[in-house]
Structure 1
Amino acid sequence: MGADKLDTVRKLLAKAERAATAEEARAYTAKAVELMARHGIDEALLGSARPGDDEIGATRVAVDDPYSAGKARLLGWVGSAFGCRCVLHGAGGGKVTAVTLFGHASDRARTELLHTSLLLQATSQLVRLRPPDARESVAAYRRSWLHGFAVEVHRRLTEAHERAEADAGAGWPVDGPSVALVLADRRERVERAWAEAFPDLGRARRSVLSGSGYGAGARAGSRADLGRTAVPRSPAAALGG
């Protein structure tokens, strides 16, 4: 994000952290999410005028155990909401070693930034989680919790992007292609480049999770801060088994 908008997001989140009530905190956080989504639309519209300024490429992100498949899923769904395609590496046995983000440079940067924050947020909660039923596997519960967290985060990001697209379209000049067409063309260019870069890519098997933590994870995802930027460069992934 641009330095001015990044600074605004940081200030909004600082206000959310100091808010006197949960409602006030959610309002500030929602504003930060809205700004992040609008910035993505702005980058797309600028890129349509200057295609060489926001090139399509790939970024490989290492994923650590435990719960590497869930972390990779979270990264992939954040990337999807931001217009990226993702490739899993070393997937098997409930593990993933890395994820390649494929898309425009600005979208990859937003994805990495937000995923780092969300991973820290999820980690801080996961280490304390235990299933309500003591007979259930802690690891299974945490895996399903992380899945629910990722699903809800993806839903919120997608909705924020749709609102930003509608707002941008309302103020877009009538002459020339619409905002929707500009964004559709941007996605299509990513799809074509992705297909050329990975012509023999197989489809990952659908994950089957047995834990009962999905609902609790989705509720945590609905409260997650989707705009935090003040995070360490190398987030620790120290989760218990």
Structure 2
Amino acid sequence: MGIRNQQRRAAKKKAREQRQRGRTEAAAGAHGQSGRVGDAFDPWTSSREERTSEEWIAELLNGAVYALLSQHPDQVERQLDQLTVGEPGLVDRLVAEAFQDVVGQLWERGWLPADLVRVVRRRHGQRAAQLTVEQIAAQLRGYSEVTVHERWHAQLRELGAAVWQGYADHRLTAWGQRQKLDRSEALRDVVSVLSVLTALPDIGKVTPLPGTVRGNASRAGTATGATIDERVLGRVRGLLAKAESTEFPEEAEALSAKAQELMARHSIDRALLAAGQTRGGSAGATARTMGAPWVTGAPDQPVALRVGVDAPYEQAKALLLQEVATANRCRSVWSADFGFATVLGFPSDAESVELLYTSLLVQATAAMVRGGPQRGRAGQSTTRSFRQSFLQAYAVRIGERLRAATDEVSREVVVEAGADRLLPVLAAREDVVREAVETMFPEMVQRQVRGSHNAAGWAAGTAAADLAALAARSEVSGRT
């Protein structure tokens, strides 16, 4: 590389770092992390003549984000007015660079594409979420497709983000035209999204960063390490698909129970296989020497998966996820502010939790909606409290039934393989998962889910979870 090219690249890097420092200081000031509001740069007090057009536009953009974080709406409007009349090509480029900078830093802070889109949607709605999707796609285009982990690929597919499948113009002007927005509306969305992204904290990495995956590891599966065997996965998905599509609650519950038993059997088989392959110590001793194996992709070590928990009835849904996780020897930690829970467990177990929770939530929602609107004795609407109680009761009872199914499979394997062989392996794995949770969430606070006091909803939810007979097991074990 020539000296002039090196100098130009160094200058661009320095400019990017200065812009990001401005946004970071703005976020810190707005949240009381670095002195009083006003410590960060205030572009509305600076002279236009003192700066180049590029510097001025960059400072206007930073200032608008800062003003929004600081809750100064008049200053936001002043900045947006000046940005709207700025040279479109220059504004587009600096907006794109701002997103490149902040999104790249958020990958380092542990955020994944689905996490960013979810939190923006919660704060500013679907259009802002779509802007986030497009800017994520533009940022990730800078990485080779084969160096990005499969979990990222799966999330990008679900979000509809075309990163490597053809070029889409993600510049502000093109995006505004696709959304049929005038210039000021498009810029308002930009500032809203950047204000959310800039203030997001470090939440801990759970997958390898883009550009760090090598070879076939990018296609290693939904979770790192040993995931569910494809044949087992196919049978489980088939059972859950039938459970979701049937109109008969009894059949849905029985099919879900069969899926749980099949996954529990597979989990134990994986645990015994891994224990047989471990050399020079227990699984727990191996895990303690590895730091954060859920990021490195260490074989048969705990992984961390983030699962969306969306409104309404978030507490009840988080409780359902926790119950499913416990039944599958995993732990679930709910981050209410961001709309997701982190599930930690061994790979096949964690993947089972995500799969089963998604299906049970579909089934529970369908059963809940069939109850229709609810009215109290005085004619007032009690639908919300009924549904909250319904889902909470459903979660508690389903958790009991799933754990019973898992315990039954464990007893069968003890008879087949012997308690001395199985129980120490399962205990060691539980210790590893607990240590992983304590490492990733050292300041975790446990709180009880606030119960809803709608007796009819609680009774209906318990009944919906109680309808299944767990005796029907021919598809799982070949016995009746």
Per the alignment, residue 114 of structure 2 pairs with none
Aligned AA (1:5): V
Structure 1 residue corresponding to 2:454, chosen from 187, 208, 211: 211
CA spacing shift, 1:6–1:155, aligned 2, 3 Å: same
Please report how far the alpha carbon of residue 46 of structure 1 lies from its aligned counterpart in structure 2 after TM superposition. 2.0
Q: Deviations over 1:120-148 (max 9, x none)?
A: 11122223323474546110010000011
User: What SS is found at the alignment partner of 1:54?
Assistant: coil
Q: For 2:356 and 2:469, how far apart are their aligned partners in 1?
A: 9
TM-score, structure 2 length as denominator? 0.41
In structure 2, runs of 5+ residues without a counterpart are 1-227, 278-282, 284-297, 471-480
TM-score, structure 1 length as denominator? 0.77
Q: For 2:253 and 2:318, how far apart are their aligned partners in 1?
A: 27
Q: For 2:341 and 2:312, how far apart are their aligned partners in 1?
A: 15
Is residue 2:270 matched to residue 1:43?
yes
Structure 2 residue corresponding to 1:191, chosen from 414, 418, 434: 434
Contact 1:118 1:225 in 2 (8 A): no
Q: How many positions carry a matched residue from both structures? A: 219
Greater shift after overlay, 42-51 or 5-14? 5-14
Aligned AA (1:203): Q
CA spacing shift, 1:28–1:77, aligned 2, 3 Å: closer
Q: For 1:161 and 1:25, how far apart are their aligned partners in 2?
A: 18
Per the alignment, residue 65 of structure 1 pairs with 311
Alignment of 1:158-177 (within 5 A): 158-172=403-417, 177=420
Q: For 2:440 and 2:236, how far apart are their aligned partners in 1?
A: 34
In structure 1, runs of 5+ residues without a counterpart are 227-241
CA spacing shift, 1:190–1:127, aligned 2, 3 Å: same
Is residue 2:328 matched to residue 1:82?
yes
Q: For 1:217 and 1:88, how far apart are their aligned partners in 2?
A: 22
Is residue 2:408 matched to residue 1:181?
no
Q: Deviations over 1:168-205 (max 9, x none)?
A: 1111168xx42111111110111122112211111224
Per the alignment, residue 369 of structure 2 pairs with 127
Greater shift after overlay, 24-33 or 64-73? 24-33
Aligned AA (2:399): H
Q: For 1:89 and 1:16, how far apart are their aligned partners in 2?
A: 29
CA spacing shift, 1:124–1:166, aligned 2, 3 Å: same
Contact 2:249 2:464 in 1 (8 A): no
Structure 1 residue corresponding to 2:387, chosen from 142, 157, 168: 142
Contact 2:249 2:467 in 1 (8 A): no
Q: For 2:312 and 2:380, how far apart are their aligned partners in 1?
A: 21
Please report how far the alpha carbon of residue 8 of structure 1 lies from its aligned counterpart in structure 2 after TM superposition. 3.6
Per the alignment, residue 347 of structure 2 pairs with 105
Contact 2:251 2:468 in 1 (8 A): no
Q: For 1:81 and 1:157, how far apart are their aligned partners in 2?
A: 6
Please report how far the alpha carbon of residue 49 of structure 1 lies from its aligned counterpart in structure 2 after TM superposition. 2.8
Q: For 1:43 and 1:17, how far apart are their aligned partners in 2?
A: 27
User: What SS is found at the alignment partner of 2:332?
Assistant: strand
Q: For 1:195 and 1:99, how far apart are their aligned partners in 2?
A: 15
Contact 1:153 1:224 in 2 (8 A): no
Structure 2 residue corresponding to 1:56, chosen from 299, 302, 305: 302
Contact 1:76 1:85 in 2 (8 A): yes
User: What SS is found at the alignment partner of 1:72?
Assistant: helix
Aligned AA (1:43): R
CA spacing shift, 1:165–1:173, aligned 2, 3 Å: closer
CA spacing shift, 1:23–1:103, aligned 2, 3 Å: closer
Using the aligned pairs only, state the percent identity: 37
Q: For 1:116 and 1:17, how far apart are their aligned partners in 2?
A: 10
Aligned AA (2:429): R
Q: For 1:16 and 1:206, how far apart are their aligned partners in 2?
A: 28
Aligned AA (1:191): R
Alpha-carbon RMSD? 3.1
Contact 1:47 1:53 in 2 (8 A): no
Structure 1 residue corresponding to 2:466, chosen from 222, 225, 233: 222
Contact 2:321 2:357 in 1 (8 A): yes
Higher relative contact order, chain-length normalized (CA < 8 Å, sep 6+): 1
Q: Deviations over 1:149-175 (max 9, x none)?
A: 11111111101111111111111168x
CA spacing shift, 1:225–1:60, aligned 2, 3 Å: farther
Greater shift after overlay, 207-216 or 28-37? 28-37
Aligned AA (2:386): Y
Q: For 2:401 and 2:316, how far apart are their aligned partners in 1?
A: 18
Greater shift after overlay, 22-31 or 188-197? 22-31
Contact 1:61 1:98 in 2 (8 A): yes
Structure showing the higher strand proportion among its residues: 1
Aligned AA (1:73): L
